[in-house]
Amino acid sequence: MGVRLFSFPVWSRYNASIMHELPVTQGILSVALETAEQHGGHRITAINLVIGDLASIVDDSVQFYFDALSEGTLAEGAKLTFKRETANALCLECGHTYTVTPPLDPFCPQCDSAFLQISGGKAFYIDSIEVDDEDTRS
């Protein structure tokens, strides 16, 4: 039985990339542009993102890709703001709750127990965009 091979070169239309921040950034750009078009096609000045601390996204990397990808679009020059959603740990032994940042410390800082429950930190969405509507011709 033969093997069917699909090759997806980098920067292909399939958005394959070395860093996953690239397709993530393409996602941000397309949602923002679509929203701006639906609201009168104004220039986008800011995009407000909510990203969880456990979502493995590097802010600088996203802004870097964004500046390149948004060139010549309504979003060119837009500033990305990152609201970080923290992850919380609950110690199942002593009840202590605290904020965690990766890499995860596997022990409760209060009682040294390893029975922890982690919640939150997985958010991954665009909260809002800001557009420049000053240039609206009436």
Partner 1 sequence: MKIPVVKQILSSNDQIAAENEKNFRENGVFALNLMAAPGAGKTTFILATIDHLPDSIRPAVIEGDLASTIDADTISQRGVPVIQINTGGGCHLDAPMIRDSLPHFALTDIDLLFVENVGNLVCPSNFNLGTALSVVVSSTAEGHDKPYKYPGIFATADVVILTKADILEVFDFDLEFFERGLKAVNPTAPLFVVSGRTGKGIDTWITWLMNRKDKYQS
112: number of Cβ within 10 Å? 10
Return the structure tokens found at 89.
């740990």
- Assess 30 for contact with partner 1 (CB under 8 A): yes
Question: Should residue 138 be labelled a site residue for partner 1 when binding is judged by CB under 8 A?
Answer: no
Nearer to partner 1, 70 or 129 (CB): 129
What is the three-class DSSP state of 118? Answer: strand
Report the candidate in 116, 122, 68, 78 with the shortest Cα–Cα distance to residue 96.
Answer: 116
Tokens of 73: 């679009």
**Minimum CB distance to partner 1, residue 124 (Å):** 6
Residue 34, Cα to own-chain centre: how many angstroms?
A: 17
**Which residues inside 32-91 make contact with partner 1, applying CB under 8 A?**
32, 35-36, 39, 42, 49, 54-56, 87, 89
| Chain residues in the site for partner 1 (CB under 8 A) | 1-10, 12, 14-20, 23-24, 27-28, 30-32, 35-36, 39, 42, 49, 54-56, 87, 89, 102-106, 114-118, 122, 124-133
